[in-house]
């Protein structure tokens, strides 16, 4: 209970409330404290990130190889910083398909040599078309 009294002192100190208001806060909080269990159990749950896609074990490099083979392009062309229309459209299509497969924008950006904001922009642009 001493911790509770300390909390009340801090409430009075930082809000500047009078003693009457502090007693009302005390009464309201006492009901809430009675509902709290005496023992606090520490629960540790580690959630492992799993990529949602057709094949969650497929690495981004393998996915890129499959995409490039299917679409007659190369990794170098995807990473090219050129603003030529065909290159940009091809990169946007790759980013969209990889994003739908479950790869994050940060992951795609690191892999292609762009920042994640450029990847998000590519996603936006591909939605427009």
Tell me the C-alpha distance between 70 and 72, whole Å.
Answer: 6
pLDDT for res 53: 67
pLDDT for res 40: 65
Task: Evaluate whether 102 touches 52 at the Cβ level (below 8 Å).
Answer: yes
Q: The tokens of 29 are what? A: 């909080």
Which has the closest alpha carbon to 63: 71, 124, 90, 116?
Answer: 71
pLDDT for res 37: 66
pLDDT for res 65: 94
The per-residue pLDDT string of the chain (129 residues; one tens digit each, 9 = 90 and over) reads: 567 778 888 888 888 888 888 888 888 887 777 776 666 667 666 655 566 666 777 889 999 999 999 999 999 999 999 999 999 999 999 999 999 888 989 999 999 999 999 999 999 988 887
**What is the DSSP-derived secondary structure letter of residue 57?**
T
- SS3 at position 42: coil
pLDDT for res 11: 82
User: Cα Rg for the chain, rounded, in angstroms?
Assistant: 28
Q: Count of CB atoms within 10 A of residue 29's CB?
A: 14
């Amino acid at each position: 209970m001493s911790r509770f009294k300390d909390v009340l002192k801090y409430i009075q100190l930082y809000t500047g409330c009078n003693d009457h208001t502090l007693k009302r806060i005390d009464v309201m909080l006492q009901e809430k404290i009675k509902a709290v269990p005496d023992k606090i159990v520490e629960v540790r749950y580690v959630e492992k990130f799993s990529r949602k896609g057709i094949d969650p074990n497929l690495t981004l490099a393998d996915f890129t190889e499959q995409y490039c083979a299917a679409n007659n392009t190369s990794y170098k062309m995807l990473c090219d910083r050129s603003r030529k229309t065909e290159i940009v459209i091809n990169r946007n299509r790759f980013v969209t398909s990889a994003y739908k497969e479950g790869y994050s924008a940060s992951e795609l950006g690191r892999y292609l040599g762009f920042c994640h904001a450029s990847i998000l922009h590519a996603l936006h642009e591909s939605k427009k078309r």
